[in-house]
Amino acid sequence: MKNLTYAIITGVIAIVLFVLTFLYRKAFVVLGIVFLGRSVDYAYKYYQYRKNQ
């Protein structure tokens, strides 16, 4: 369950960073990609955990 929470939090952070990149044209896109990758990683771990139960 912890992985699902982390996936949601990092996904929201990634979306916010992409929005900030769009609004301010700064280099937040790199951080956005990092947080999006972590979000996918946590979501996959949660999926594997649920699948094994």
- Give the separation between CA 52 and CA 31, rounded to whole angstroms: 32
Q: What is the pLDDT of residue 30?
A: 76
Check whether 25 has a pLDDT greater than 80: no
Confirm if 12 and 35 have CB atoms less than 8 A apart.
no
Q: Most distant CA pair in the chain: distance in Å?
A: 45
Query: pLDDT confidence of 20, banded at 50, 70, 90?
Result: confident
- Residue with the larger pLDDT of the pair 28 and 20: 20
Q: What is the pLDDT of residue 16?
A: 85
What's the average model confidence in pLDDT over 11-29?
A: 80
Q: Is the sign of the CA dihedral 32, 33, 37, 43 positive or negative? A: positive
How many domains does the chain divide into? 1
Q: How many CB atoms lie within 10 A of CB 9?
A: 14
Q: Which domain holds residue 17?
A: 2-51
